[in-house]
């Protein structure tokens, strides 16, 4: 519970109605989209502008009250779970598009805007904001920036980081800084813009962002290739890239995922094949036609059982929508769904999926895998039941093995979901103790009182690494 | 001079022949490509590998000896001038390509490799490394990364930062960290990769880098459009972008630059026009043809006096080579050439060039301007004589006014050259004192003894800002 003095000071900033601390309100913000993590905040606060955030931060820094900035809470790393209490800070009032600049191809927004709303607003002007996390219908841009969200278009277009040009940030000491500008080139000092991107709310509060836009691709085509085996699909992925084609989307679903997705979406996907690639190319008409033609040929040469190009934008949309529904579809199967995002170099995707299957078998847990084959970002998803302690232990072991394997193959523990609480015990596996130390040095230089989203990224203890047996 | 104890310890690491401290050697490394800055180092050292660099850093940190990492010294911000003495660290032995991975589209290099050598090596495999600073024939990748170098292809393809995927870095405390990987998506912890990019050797020593490659564009076309006035050229730039075309290169030369370049390159450029745009598009043949056709039409509508599409790759190359020679050409005119890179939002280019001309007139100095119109990165270049103190004072005043104007227009003091010593007194104009403080917090957390390239980025004093009179 907040000390009454602190509570009154916060109310004097935002007004009575914007500080919520009834039991019902606190419960709502005690968890996010990540299963199995819950902790009660002391209050929920809804500031109306940067100035109010600045004052809130100063109070919290003085009284050492944790602050957890939260968009829509769609993250999958328990990144917005208020582990150490304190206040959950919402951007309910700060959800506007401030400017779309068609001359300089930028959009300036407040952090609370929904990703899809932003995408639609710029598309209405013939412009394109590529990052498209699966949660984009409900996620906010502020959350996307804090997590450096990826999405299906990452292979060709990059991730959120690649589109953030400028930020306004309230630092833990209450100072406001503005980074970057409407500038494709700017080397005046350290790259604080990108330091903030993906920092998971641990270094400050992003209060405004300017994002880069590009012209919207003229056209788009979608296709589906079915394979008997993982190897065939993996080989096709490699061959597409080796042929110097970078598709906009190059998604992979294994047999298990496919079955569940079809059961959910009912669009006539085959469910008796080993693996599916969902491929999309966009760009000028001639190029899209030519690339899709080449990709069809490559898939056939990689022994695809069947290759099917969507005959209309609607048919294409149905396919990508089905893919986007993978998590929801899988979530119907069991009480608890844990979706991970171990990521490997593109050339290792088939090997990694095979290893995931082996690991699942070893630990006797049910894991389906889908994900962004083009950029090696896989989502092994475990269907389980959090109430079954014994099973949960095996699930945890399986994921630890998966992380270890990903790193062994030159990969990482998280491609686009963030470290949060969930993966913090594994961070040193990827970065080494020296790497984690360097990050701690940075964190504590900026936030000596550890008020910004405490308990995230840095674990109290690194998990003991068990070497995966071949 | 180094204490004999330190000198001996360094020699024990690299061997006698790799520590140079004769007067002649020290003089050679007392300056870089930036006019008017010189300071003697105490020694020049040539380590052979990361391990040796690690040991050197530990010694220097213990004895508080400054380290200035230096590639080819082509920077234009006095970034490698050993202002506070200490050792200049060279990458003479660390100049290899370690791997070109065609499956994952990456190249792994040591920092000492020449940029153009790298570009040619990957092009031989049908791959493309876009960043192309004008100094690329002699600059090193290590230098490019430390300065976050741009180039002519920045508008469409981004800058060095956008191509660095992983780094090995020796931190000021002597610890070695490895960031990133062969991963298009990786959000395991803070983005140290991009924090190091553009940090100008002040946070650590980059000892290895993995860079992203893309498929080489199928074809390329070059064209030249001549305009009576700046306004016409500026209008054409805006119209090209408004038509949703992003050319690979969109360069601008004013009348003064044009005259000097033609005198130098003798390729038949007209010298009696107000402004020239050099435009290049690359990509699939059909798209290039279509875009160039549209751009021709846009230039004509913007009242270009003449528009000429290069009829052969050789003719196109001659045009871009002429543009690349702008600095060399200008440098022949007067004993001292000061090339700056004030940068503004693309939509403000014409206005900025007009202001530069006005400022030059007010201070009675000779400034020609050329640069990357597409990304607003301008190079106002002053031809002067460093021996004339009174004139140099006026030159300095003029550049201060130019920086102030750039910031007023939403721009920055440096687009691609870095802050170094030269622009450090102006950094707070762009970032505010809060922004500079945040950077200092970071710097001193990592380098409490201030051994890494001291005197760069952070000035002892911020210049008093004179408001530009309209």
Determine phi and psi for A214, rounding to 5 degrees.
-130, 165
Answer whether residue A2 shows pLDDT above 80.
yes
Backbone angles phi, psi at A274, to 5 degrees: -75, -35
User: Cβ distance A179 to A193 under 8 Å?
Assistant: yes
Show residues of chain A in contact with B181, CB under 8 Å: 345, 410-412
Distance from CA of B266 to the nearest CA of A (A): 31
For A245, nearest residue in chain B (alpha carbons) = B215
DSSP state of B346: G
ipTM, interface predicted TM-score of the complex? 0.95
User: Which residue is closest to B202 within chain A, CA to CA?
Assistant: A190
pLDDT tens-digit profile of A311-366? Answer: 998 989 888 888 888 888 888 889 999 999 999 999 999 999 999 999 999 999 99
User: Which residue of A161, A187, A437 is in closest CB contact with B414?
Assistant: A187
In angstroms and rounded to an integer, the radius of gyration of the C-alpha atoms of chain B is 22
Q: How confident is the model at residue A467 (pLDDT cuts 50, 70, 90)?
A: low
The pLDDT of residue A469 is 47
Asked if B375 and A195 come within 8 Å (Cβ–Cβ), the reply is no
SS3 A362: helix
Question: Comparing B219-328 with B334-417, is the CATH topology the same?
Answer: yes
Are A415 and B442 an interchain contact pair (Cβ–Cβ within 8 Å)? no
Q: Where are the beta strands (DSSP E) in B155-274?
A: 164-170, 176-180, 205-212, 214-215, 219-227, 249-254
Q: What is the pLDDT along chain B (470 residues), one digit of tens a residue?
A: 899 999 999 999 999 999 999 999 999 999 999 999 999 999 999 999 999 999 999 999 999 999 999 999 999 999 999 999 999 999 999 999 999 999 999 999 999 999 999 999 999 999 999 999 989 999 999 999 999 999 989 999 999 999 999 999 999 999 999 999 999 999 999 999 999 999 999 999 999 999 999 999 999 999 999 999 888 999 999 899 989 999 999 999 999 999 998 998 888 888 889 999 999 999 999 999 999 999 999 999 999 999 999 999 898 988 888 888 888 888 888 999 999 999 999 999 999 999 999 999 999 999 999 999 998 999 999 999 999 999 999 999 999 999 999 999 999 999 999 999 999 999 999 999 999 999 999 999 999 999 999 999 999 888 887 654 44
The tokens of A249 are what? 């989307």
Of B139, B89, B149, the C-alpha closest to B117 is: B139
Strands A249-254 and A275-283: antiparallel
The yes/no answer on whether domain B4-90 falls in CATH 3.40.30.10 is no
Is the separation of the CB atoms in A21 and A44 below 8 Å? yes
The whole-angstrom separation of Cα A51 and Cα B368 is 43
The first and second tokens of residue A237, run together, are 């992925």
State the pLDDT at residue B266. Answer: 87
- For residue A307, give the nearest of A349, A332, A273 by alpha carbon: A273
Between chain A and chain B, the number of residue pairs with CB atoms below 8 A apart is 272
Q: Does A219 contact B at CB distance below 8 Å? A: no
A99 touches chain B (CB under 8 A): no
Residues from chain A that touch B104, judged by Cβ atoms under 8 A, are 345-347
- B425: contact with A, CB 8 A cutoff: no
Is A35 strand, coil or helix? coil
CATH 3.30.465.10 for the B97-215 domain, yes or no: yes
Tokens of B435: 């922004």
Using CA coordinates, name the residue in chain A closest to B243: A215
- Planar angle of CA A172, A114, A137, nearest 5 degrees: 130
- Quick: pLDDT tens for A131-179: 999 899 999 999 999 999 999 899 999 999 999 999 999 999 999 999 9
Residue among B284, B427, B434 minimizing CB distance to A189? B427
Domain boundaries defined on chain A? 219-328, 334-417
A191/B198 touch (CB, cutoff 8 Å), yes or no: yes
Identify the CATH assignment for A219-328 out of 3.90.226.10, 3.40.50.980, 3.30.70.2190, 3.40.50.150.
Answer: 3.30.70.2190
Q: Give the pLDDT confidence score for residue A422 in this predicted structure.
A: 94
Among A195, A415, A438, most B C-beta atoms within 10 A, so best to mutate, is: A438
The answer to whether residue A386 scores a pLDDT higher than 50 is yes
- Residue range A61-77: average pLDDT? 97
Please indicate whether, in this complex, the C-beta atoms of A412 and B181 are within 8 angstroms of each other: yes
**Chain A residues closer than 8 Å to B57 by CB:** none
The pLDDT of residue A466: 63
Cα distances (angstroms) measured from residue A185 to each of A182, A238, B230, B325, B415: 9, 33, 22, 21, 5
Rg (CA), chain A: 22
pLDDT, one tens digit per residue, over A240-280 is 998 999 999 999 999 999 999 899 888 888 888 999 999 99
- The whole-angstrom separation of Cα A429 and Cα A418 is 15
- Select from A207, A187, A177 the least CA-distant residue to B194: A187
pLDDT of the residue at A318: 87
Interhelix angle B389-408/B349-362, rounded to 10 degrees, is 150
- Closest by alpha carbon to B371, among A206, A345, A184? A184
pLDDT of residue B466: 63
Q: Given an 8 Å threshold on Cβ–Cβ distance, is A347 in contact with B171?
A: no
Nearest-CA distance A25 → chain B (Å): 31
Is-contact A212 A336, C-beta < 8 A? Answer: no
The separation between the first and the last C-alpha atoms of chain A, rounded to the nearest angstrom, is 50
The sign of the dihedral angle between the CA atoms of B30, B32, B36, B37 is negative
Contact state of A189 with B435 under an 8 Å Cβ cutoff: yes
Cα–Cα distance, A89 to A44 (Å, whole number): 6
**d(CA B281, nearest CA chain A) in Å:** 14
Judge whether residue A468 has pLDDT over 80.
no
| DSSP calls for B428-461 | HHHHHHHHHHHHHHHHHHH-TT--BSTTSSS-SS
B191/A181 CB distance under 8 A? no
Asked if B185 lies within 8 A of A418 by C-beta distance, the reply is no
A231: confidence class by pLDDT, cuts 50, 70, 90: confident
Q: What is the CATH number of domain A334-417?
A: 3.30.70.2740
């Amino acid at each position: 519970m907040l000390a009454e003095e602190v509570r009154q000071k916060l109310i004097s900033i935002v007004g009575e109605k914007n500080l919520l601390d009834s039991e019902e309100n606190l419960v709502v913000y005690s968890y996010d989209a990540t299963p199995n993590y819950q902790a009660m905040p002391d209050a929920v606060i809804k500031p109306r502008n940067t100035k109010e955030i600045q004052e809130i931060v100063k109070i919290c820094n003085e009284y050492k009250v944790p602050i957890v900035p939260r968009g829509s809470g769609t993250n999958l790393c328990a990144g917005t779970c208020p582990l150490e209490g304190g206040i959950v800070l919402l951007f309910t009032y700060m959800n506007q598009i401030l400017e779309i600049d068609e001359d300089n191809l930028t959009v300036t927004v407040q952090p609370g805007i929904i990703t899809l709303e932003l995408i639609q607003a710029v598309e209405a002007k013939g412009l394109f904001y590529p990052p498209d996390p699966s949660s984009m219908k409900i996620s906010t841009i502020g959350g996307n920036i804090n997590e450096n969200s990826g999405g299906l278009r990452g292979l060709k277009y990059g991730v959120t980081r690649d589109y953030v040009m400028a930020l306004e940030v309230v630092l833990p000491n209450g100072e406001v800084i503005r980074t970057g500008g409407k500038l494709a080139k700017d080397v005046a000092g350290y790259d604080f813009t990108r330091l903030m991107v993906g920092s998971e709310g641990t270094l400050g509060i992003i209060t405004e962002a300017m994002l880069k836009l590009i012209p919207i691709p003229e056209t788009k085509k979608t296709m589906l290739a079915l394979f008997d085996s993982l190897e065939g699909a993996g080989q096709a992925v490699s061959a597409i890239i080796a042929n110097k084609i970078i598709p906009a989307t190059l998604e992979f679903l294994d047999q298990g995922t496919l079955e569940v997705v079809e059961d959910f979406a009912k669009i006539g996907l085959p469910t008796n094949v080993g693996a599916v690639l969902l491929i999309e190319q966009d760009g000028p008409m001639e190029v899209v036609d030519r690339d899709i033609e080449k990709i069809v040929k490559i898939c056939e040469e990689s022994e695809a059982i069947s290759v099917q190009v969507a005959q209309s934008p609607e048919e294409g949309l149905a396919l990508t929508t089905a893919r986007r529904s993978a998590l929801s579809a899988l979530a119907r199967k069991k009480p608890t769904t844990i979706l991970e995002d171990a990521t490997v170099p593109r050339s290792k995707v088939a090997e990694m999926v095979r290893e995931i299957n082996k690991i699942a078998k070893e630990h006797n847990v049910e894991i389906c895998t889908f994900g962004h084959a083009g950029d090696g970002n896989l989502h092994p998803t475990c269907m389980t039941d959090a109430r079954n302690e014994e099973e949960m232990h095996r699930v945890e072991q399986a994921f630890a093995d998966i992380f270890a394997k990903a790193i062994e193959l030159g990969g990482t523990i998280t491609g686009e979901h963030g470290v949060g609480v969930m993966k913090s015990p594994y961070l040193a596996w990827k970065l080494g103790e020296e790497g984690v130390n360097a990050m701690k040095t940075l964190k504590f230089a900026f936030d000596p009182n550890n008020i910004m989203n405490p308990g995230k990224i840095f674990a109290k203890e690194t998990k003991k690494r068990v070497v995966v047996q071949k």
